[in-house]
Amino acid sequence: MLDIKFLRENPEIVKQNIRNKFQDQKLPMVDEVIELDASYRAIMQEADQLRGNRNKLSKQIGGLMAKGEREEAEKVKAEVNRQSERLAECEKLEGELSEKIRKIMLVIPNIIDPSVPIGKDDSENVEIEKFGEPVVPDFDIPYHTDIMERFDGIDLDSARRVAGNGFYYLMGDIARLHSSVIAYARDFMIGRGFTYVVPPFMIRSDVVTGVMSFAEMEAMMYKIEGEDLYLIGTSEHSMIGKFIDQIIPEAELPYTLTSYSPCFRKEKGAHGLEERGVYRIHQFEKQEMIVVCKPEDSMKWYDKLWQNTVDLFRSLDIPVRTLECCSGDLADLKVKSCDVEAWSPRQKKYFEVGSCSNLGDAQARRLKIRVNGADGRKYLAHTLNNTVVAPPRMLIAFLENNLQADGTVRIPEALRPYMGGTEKLIPKK
């Protein structure tokens, strides 16, 4: 969410930012919120004057009564009542205008970083760099669920009977591989100096609206019926929410945290052939990283975060690349974002396995996360997040890139301690 003062003073910058994100339908909102803000400030000023006048008049009443000037005192009382009634009207209008302004400001997108490429959608994202050599073996790579079934490692039919589409049972070596990847990712991030956290898996509505846009919320979040609680779509939500309404001593920054959680997502919309199996599902587990830092440090941390994911995937011998997200592919709160994509030997192309985002002060403004500077000045923190691993998609990349011609799956050396020293998985079928 933008600072209303910035919007008031820079309406053309805000409008151009909206055009750059190809959201022209939001352009009238800028003028609308400026008009509402002018009315709000005028009403607030009137209310302040009325409060001041009322206090002065109230003091006069006691003096007039002491002098025995009852008639004059009654006139002043009547004026106090009149001004009190008007003050009540002003306070009500003040609240209504404030809420209207907030609702519009929640929809106006954050100002993107000047380095973000301008483009309509993800088809115009820009490849930045490749890491590792993508290989296409001289044998066929089956679909990922077919590989898992060779190990008796997945049961989608039972999951459909129990919970419907979009769920799965992982079993045996594949389930162990899943847990090993999560444990390895946890220790990898601890080794990089991040503090390990297991957060709440449900959050209240004020946290939901603080960490994401309404469009994202509608498309992603599951609401707990009858309670002010939502299942998290990623642990970033509860991790950033941890700092709601907090004033953080500047000396404590940055906070660098890595969190484990299950994630729950509606995943609305039709899905293509490549999104069946465990690619796009309603429930999965993920290791996440978040940073809360000073504004001047956020871009430095942005580069460190996506590099962490690249390094982890490369430690497991999986080729990856980074894509700079263009303006039209950025969620409204994001200042800058990139996707990390893993190589798929079967599809002979890359697919998304993680996303790194710098949200500037947008989440901090919504959640009132402030920093107490060394000079006593308070300012908004910057927040960032990035996927370490989300094993369902990570498993796809892992199985495809480590599958051998004889049907076994090689376990990279870094992961072997988490697999009891196992060097390869042997299929049962």
- The verdict on residue 400 lying in a domain is yes
Q: For 352-393, what is each residue's pLDDT tens digit?
A: 999 999 999 999 999 999 999 999 999 999 999 999 999 889
| pLDDT of residue 160 exceeding 60 | yes
User: Domain ends where: 105, 138, 157?
Assistant: 105
Q: For 309-349, what is each residue's pLDDT tens digit?
A: 999 999 999 999 999 999 999 999 999 999 999 999 999 99
What is the structure's pLDDT at 427? 96
Say how far residue 139 (Cα) sits from the centre of its chain. Answer: 40
| First and final C-alpha spacing in the chain | 54
- The verdict on residue 138 lying in a domain is yes
Quick one: pLDDT band at residue 1, thresholds 50, 70, 90? confident
- Mean pLDDT along residues 161-189: 96
- Cα–Cα distance between 118 and 162 in angstroms, integer? 45
As a three-state string, the secondary structure of 67-119 is: CCCHHHHHHHHHHHHHHHHHHHHHHHHHHHHHHHHHHHHCCCCCCCCCCCCCC
Identify the CATH number of the domain in which residue 26 sits. 1.10.287.40
Residue with the bigger pLDDT between 366 and 68: it is 366
What is the structure's pLDDT at 269? 53
Question: Same domain, yes or no, for 12 and 47?
Answer: yes
- Mean pLDDT along residues 134-145: 95
- Cα–Cα distance between 48 and 45 in angstroms, integer? 5
Question: Same domain, yes or no, for 87 and 219?
Answer: no
Question: Same domain, yes or no, for 48 and 171?
Answer: no
For residue 408, with 0-12 CB atoms within 10 Å meaning exposed, 13-18 middle and 19 or more buried, which class applies? middle
- Cα–Cα distance between 418 and 111 in angstroms, integer? 43
What is the structure's pLDDT at 71? 77
| pLDDT of residue 270 exceeding 50 | no
- The verdict on residue 250 lying in a domain is yes
Q: For 36-67, what is each residue's pLDDT tens digit?
A: 999 999 999 999 888 888 777 777 776 767 67
DSSP structure class, residue 304: H
Tell how many helices (H) and how many strands (E) occur in the chain: 13, 18
Identify the CATH number of the domain in which residue 359 sits. 3.30.930.10
Question: Same domain, yes or no, for 376 and 402?
Answer: yes
Sorted by sequence, the CB contacts under 8 Å of residue 279 that are 6+ apart come out as: 144, 392, 393, 396
Radius of gyration of the chain (CA): 28
Question: Same domain, yes or no, for 155 and 72?
Answer: no
- The verdict on residue 111 lying in a domain is no
Other Cβ atoms within 10 Å of 296 Cβ, number: 8
Question: Same domain, yes or no, for 243 and 334?
Answer: yes
- The verdict on residue 331 lying in a domain is yes
Other Cβ atoms within 10 Å of 422 Cβ, number: 17
User: Domain ends where: 105, 132, 160?
Assistant: 105
Question: Same domain, yes or no, for 97 and 209?
Answer: no
- Cα–Cα distance between 76 and 82 in angstroms, integer? 10
Which segment of 78-87, 104-113, 138-147 scores lowest on mean pLDDT? 78-87
- The verdict on residue 97 lying in a domain is yes
What is the structure's pLDDT at 75? 80
State the residue range of the domain holding 58. 4-105
Which segment of 141-145, 175-179, 192-196, 274-278 scores lowest on mean pLDDT? 274-278
- Mean pLDDT along residues 267-294: 80
Sorted by sequence, the CB contacts under 8 Å of residue 94 that are 6+ apart come out as: 40, 43, 44, 47
264-280 b/e (C-beta count within 10 Å ≥ 16 → b): bbeeeeeeeebebbbbb
Show the CA angle centred on residue 229, arms to residues 225 and 166, nearest 5°.
Answer: 70
Question: Same domain, yes or no, for 49 and 132?
Answer: no
Which segment of 64-78, 118-132, 320-334 scores lowest on mean pLDDT? 64-78
What is the structure's pLDDT at 268? 58
- The verdict on residue 114 lying in a domain is no
What is the structure's pLDDT at 408? 98
Residue with tokens 């080729």: 319
Question: Same domain, yes or no, for 17 and 61?
Answer: yes
Question: Same domain, yes or no, for 200 and 97?
Answer: no
Quick one: pLDDT band at residue 293, thresholds 50, 70, 90? very high
Question: Same domain, yes or no, for 68 and 157?
Answer: no
Q: How many domains does the chain have?
A: 2
Report the percentage of the chain scoring pLDDT > 70. Answer: 97
- Cα–Cα distance between 88 and 76 in angstroms, integer? 18
- Cα–Cα distance between 328 and 93 in angstroms, integer? 36
- Cα–Cα distance between 20 and 26 in angstroms, integer? 12
Residue with the bigger pLDDT between 198 and 216: it is 198
Sorted by sequence, the CB contacts under 8 Å of residue 379 that are 6+ apart come out as: 295, 370, 371, 373
Question: Same domain, yes or no, for 71 and 128?
Answer: no
- The verdict on residue 252 lying in a domain is yes
What is the structure's pLDDT at 148? 97
Average pLDDT of the chain to the nearest whole number: 93
What is the structure's pLDDT at 273? 47
* pTM for this predicted structure: 0.90
Residue with the bigger pLDDT between 54 and 202: it is 202
